[in-house]
Amino acid sequence: DGGITQSPKYLFRKEGQNVTLSCEQNLNHDAMYWYRQDPGQGLRLIYYSQIVNDFQKGDIAEGYSVSREKKESFPLTVTSAQKNPTAFYLCASSVERSYNEQFFGPGTRLTVL
């Protein structure tokens, strides 16, 4: 079945460690996105990519990095520079036009110990 997978579902990290969240899609979508969700804050855009080997910063990119080497994959690295990384992270993809809806993965809940 087509869809988006994110792994792991739960992730624990010690302060000062980098951690990479996986996002894979088999929908043949050009665009992929990473969002951060905190209670009462809605979804905030971290990074997005509209095509392979290209990506753009979103509203809260500081302390995060991404890569887009393959159309199907858009991993997110939470670096030690991110001051408050504990959150729920959602990956999404879409056909690259604003009138198309986004498809979301199940999310990864990151907790920094």
Inter-residue contact 19 to 110 (CB < 8 Å): yes
Residue 28 in the binding site for another protein (CB under 8 A): no
Residues 6 or more apart whose Cβ sits within 8 Å of residue 72? 24, 25, 26
Q: Considering the complex, what minimum distance in angstroms separates the CB of residue 17 from another protein?
A: 24
Residue 80 in the binding site for another protein (CB under 8 A): no
Inter-residue contact 47 to 56 (CB < 8 Å): yes
Q: Pick from 27, 45, 52, 60: which binds another protein (CB under 8 A)?
A: 45
Which of 31, 80 has the CB closer to another protein?
A: 31
**Residue 81 corresponds to which tokens in the numbers above?**
């520079």
User: How far is 64 from 66, CA to CA, in rounded Å?
Assistant: 7
Where on the chain is the footprint of another protein (CB under 8 A)?
31, 33, 35, 40-43, 45, 48, 50, 56, 58, 88, 90, 92, 94, 96-99, 101-107, 109
